Amino acid sequence: MKSIVLIPFGPVPPEVLDALEVGLWQEFGFGVRRGEALPDPAYAFDQHANQYSSAMMLKDLLRRVPSDAVRVLGVTERDLFIPMLSFVFGHAQVNGPAAVISLARLRQEFYRLPPNPPLFLRRVMKEAVHELGHTFGLVHCADTRCAMSLSNAIQHVDTKTEELCPSCTILFQDSVHQIRQHSGEEH
Ligand SMILES: [Zn+2]
Ligand SMILES: [Zn+2]
């Protein structure tokens, strides 16, 4: 069975990858493994925004999807943006093989608050489930507890959970069923 492959862009704390390995397996039921780390994505730096282009990083990831990957999740410390939005916590190709999340705005320190590592890791999980959810065809959900609810501020990230609501879970299972049929894994 194919795996979700984690690909760090530049240095990423090992505890983040450890938490994602366990949490994504629990949420999605796919094995999770670490891919080869990529160098810091200097090519995606935008001088005007003083941030990194998530679209360029996604493009890079799309060229590097390993054959055993059902999905790849890029993880970076770099602050990401897309044109017209001042920042994004992450970016995904809907129904595509790749997504990327940024750790930059998930730490309390970013908001000049004392560090809170457990809160940070919960936020990382929520954003990872959200972006991977898009790659499985899920769209934004009106249930504010659902991981697929839209977050454009850290308060929204803290309101939602790292779990999919019942209706998003059904859509996710349909999507997995189709993926397995296409890859000949369904019996
Ligand atoms: Zn989204
Ligand atoms: Zn939902």
For residue 34, the surrounding DSSP H or E stretch is strand 31-34
Asked if residue 88 is part of any domain, the answer here is yes
Asked if residue 118 is part of any domain, the answer here is yes
What domain count does the chain have?
1
Asked if residue 64 is part of any domain, the answer here is yes
Ligand 2 centre to CA of 73 (Å) is 20
Asked if residue 186 is part of any domain, the answer here is no
Asked if residue 84 is part of any domain, the answer here is yes
Residue 146 to residue 169: CA distance in whole angstroms: 10
Q: What is the pLDDT of residues 132-187, one digit of tens each?
A: 999 999 999 999 999 999 998 999 999 999 999 999 999 999 999 998 888 765 45
Q: How far is CA 158 from CA 2, 145, 187, in A?
A: 31, 9, 40
Q: Do 131 and 90 touch, CB atoms closer than 8 A?
A: yes
Q: How far is CA 175 from CA 34, 41, 119, 167, 168, in A?
A: 23, 31, 30, 13, 10
Active-site residue (options: 131, 162, 163, 185): 131
Asked if residue 187 is part of any domain, the answer here is no
For residue 134, the enclosing domain spans 3-181
Say whether pLDDT at 83 is over 90: no
Asked if residue 95 is part of any domain, the answer here is yes
Q: What is the pLDDT of residues 55-67, one digit of tens each?
A: 999 999 999 999 9
Q: Do 47 and 72 touch, CB atoms closer than 8 A?
A: no
- Confidence (pTM): 0.95
Say whether pLDDT at 121 is over 70: yes
Asked if residue 115 is part of any domain, the answer here is yes
Catalytic residue list contains 131: yes
Ligand 1 centre to CA of 151 (Å) is 7
State residue 182's pLDDT score. Answer: 81
CATH of the domain at 17: 3.40.390.10
Q: Look at strands 3-9 and 90-92 and give their pairing.
A: unpaired
